[in-house]
Amino acid sequence: MRILSVSSSRAARRQSGDDAAVLAGLGYPSVLDRRMSGFANMGASFTVISILSGCMTMYGFGLATGGPAVIMWGWVGVGLIVLLLGMALAEVTSAYPTSGGLYYMADRLGGPLWAWYTGWFNMLGLIGGIAGIDFGAATFVGAFANLQWGFTPTPEKTMLIFAAILLLHALLNVAGINLVALLNKVSVWWHIGGVALIVGCLMLAPAQHQSAAFVFGHFNNDTGWGNGLFVGALGLLLAQYTFCGYDASSHLSEETKQAQISAPQGMVRSIWISLIAGFVLLFGLTSAIQDYVGTQKTSTGVPPAQIFLDVAGVGWAKALLLVVIVAQLFCGNAETAAASRMVFAFSRDGAVPGSSLWRRTSTRTKTPVAAVWLSVGVALLLAAPSLISPTAYSAVTAINVLGITPAYAIPVYLRLRAGDRFQPGPWNLGRWHKPVGVTAVIWVAFVTVLFCLPQVSPVTVDSFNYAPIVLALVMFAAWILWTTKGRRTYKIPDVGNRTAHAALSDEVV
């Protein structure tokens, strides 16, 4: 497969042209600060994927839902299909590099109604991602505090830690894109170095290690469901949840240099690097399990922490937990940046109630400050049910997947439907767009249905998967907003209209 990339085509670099001119051609003035390099853009998506966040926080779920066999083979299978989805989406991103990302693509290719629902899917998924990432980080902070000070991570205490992390990420984001870009660059090396350190410690420790047959073949089912195939399918949530967020490159494209090439390239690179590094991480963790049941029922509340304890001892366990926690903080910060840009862009086109507030940018940092605060505020509300239900975290991760994954597929489907009417950007798949796109759309349809299903049997108030209910409520609210107001207020500018939305450049605070 020959895929156009910046490293292999100088013509593509010339074709991408001036970023401001490209954006003006899409109808928008440049009001954000375009200082992000291609590496920093890739770092945003790689950081949001964050194998040290997704893999670690969902590892206990994987142990119960299929066990090592599903964890390892599911990672490879899901990762390869997501790579195809990312490539298909990257092609459309190259043609439409705006902060609106997916909904803008859907509007250009399918019309306003497609864009409306794509935008609400995308916004729910991104904000759900903030909730899932930062709540996962809060559980790891609680585990570290348990080892260090004997702290008991109750739901109430975990929620307070979660709120503090959300506050930190809001403050970092309102400080400006330069700080966000710097943190994204550091995050790439922190993640890669962190995986090397964790796996190296686990593999070199004198403790007994599991056989390859166990790592790649042991199946475990603690869900209460009797159908092993269904349980194995549910277990794919670990990988699918982790492989979310690579659209961050698209949402940060208006702040990225050579965006028509850098943004799609950043999306694809973030996926395949995460696929390789994540496989190494999961292999190291799984092969180091000493007591399967003890790992699941650890008093720390975090199964990977128990593995660290059993293999490396208390001192190293705390050090490795700190590595993971810092990576998770990087991840949540990048997700907050992506989500806030989505809120900003959707408000810029009149789609969000109170749009005139959420689309404002700071005169000092050119950052959508109000959109940042809205994003973290809604994330706090999404995670609130964890105070009541012990399975709420899995539901929050399912909200992320259910919201954002369909939003990924809609522009790809519309690009397939458009055929030769689609004008590709400098990064494109050529004749491979059809098989890649069809495979991606079919996969998204499958996982969307799968993750609406109950994850534990019997289904009770505590174990109920409320993610589809949240999704349905948001879609119903989106329909109400569309019929009552959205069809009149939502509008993206005409292509090539350089004066449209020019008034937005004056909306600064």
Q: Is the pLDDT of residue 71 over 60?
A: yes
Tokens 């767009």 correspond to what residue?
433
How many CB atoms sit inside 10 A of residue 344's CB? 30
Q: Is the pLDDT of residue 241 over 60?
A: yes
Which 8-state DSSP code applies to residue 220? E
pLDDT digits (tens, 9 = 90+) for 167-214: 999 999 999 989 999 999 999 999 999 999 999 999 998 889 999 999
Q: Is the pLDDT of residue 505 over 50?
A: no
Q: Which amino acid is at 406?
A: P
Q: Which of 35-49, 393-407, 454-468, 481-495 has the lowest mean pLDDT?
A: 393-407
Integer Cα distance of 366 and 376 in angstroms: 19
Integer Cα distance of 202 and 192 in angstroms: 16
% of the chain exceeding 70 in pLDDT: 92
Q: Give me the pLDDT at residue 496, please.
A: 58
As a whole number, mean pLDDT of residues 5-14 equals 39
Per DSSP bridges, beta strands 220-221 and 65-66 are antiparallel
How many CB atoms sit inside 10 A of residue 176's CB? 16
Integer Cα distance of 307 and 298 in angstroms: 9
Residue with the bigger pLDDT between 391 and 378: it is 378
In the numeric block, which tokens belong to residue 439? 């495979």
Nearest alpha-carbon partner for 166 in 121, 140, 127:
127
pLDDT digits (tens, 9 = 90+) for 249-296: 999 999 999 999 999 999 999 999 999 999 999 999 999 999 999 999
Q: Which amino acid is at 370?
A: A
* Contacts of residue 482, Cβ cutoff 8 Å, sequence gap at least 6: 113, 116, 490
In the numeric block, which tokens belong to residue 67? 């066990």
The beta strands (E) that lie in 278-364 are given as: none
Q: Give me the pLDDT at residue 30, please.
A: 87
Nearest alpha-carbon partner for 405 in 267, 241, 262:
241
For the chain, the average pLDDT equals 88
Tell me the three state secondary structure of residue 244. coil
Confirm if 51 and 293 have CB atoms less than 8 A apart.
Answer: no
Helix (H) or strand (E) holding 357: helix 355-358
As a whole number, mean pLDDT of residues 133-162 equals 90
pLDDT digits (tens, 9 = 90+) for 103-143: 999 999 999 999 999 999 888 888 988 988 899 899 899 98
Integer Cα distance of 56 and 108 in angstroms: 38
Confirm if 290 and 205 have CB atoms less than 8 A apart.
Answer: no
Tokens 């259910």 correspond to what residue?
402
Is the peptide bond prior to 458 cis by the omega test (within 30 degrees of 0)?
Answer: yes
Q: Is the pLDDT of residue 246 over 90?
A: yes
Helix (H) or strand (E) holding 65: strand 65-66
In the numeric block, which tokens belong to residue 176? 């400006």
Integer Cα distance of 253 and 98 in angstroms: 6
% of the chain exceeding 90 in pLDDT: 67
Tokens 């350190």 correspond to what residue?
197
pLDDT digits (tens, 9 = 90+) for 85-109: 999 999 999 999 999 989 999 999 9
In the numeric block, which tokens belong to residue 397? 């991760």
Interhelix angle 112-149/369-383, nearest 10 degrees: 70
In the numeric block, which tokens belong to residue 104? 């803008």
Integer Cα distance of 400 and 133 in angstroms: 10
pLDDT digits (tens, 9 = 90+) for 330-388: 999 999 999 999 999 999 999 999 999 999 998 888 899 999 999 999 999 988 877 77
Query: pLDDT band at 14, cuts 50/70/90?
Result: very low
Q: Is the pLDDT of residue 503 over 60?
A: no
Q: Give me the pLDDT at residue 393, please.
A: 66
Tally of helices (H runs) and strands (E runs) in the chain: 23, 2
As a whole number, mean pLDDT of residues 215-224 equals 96
Measured at the CA of 167, the angle between CA 142 and CA 323, to 5 degrees, comes to 45
Q: Where are the alpha helices (DSSP H) in 349-484?
A: 355-358, 369-383, 392-418, 433-450, 467-481
Q: Which amino acid is at 68?
A: P
Phi, psi for residue 2 in degrees, rounded to 5: -100, 115
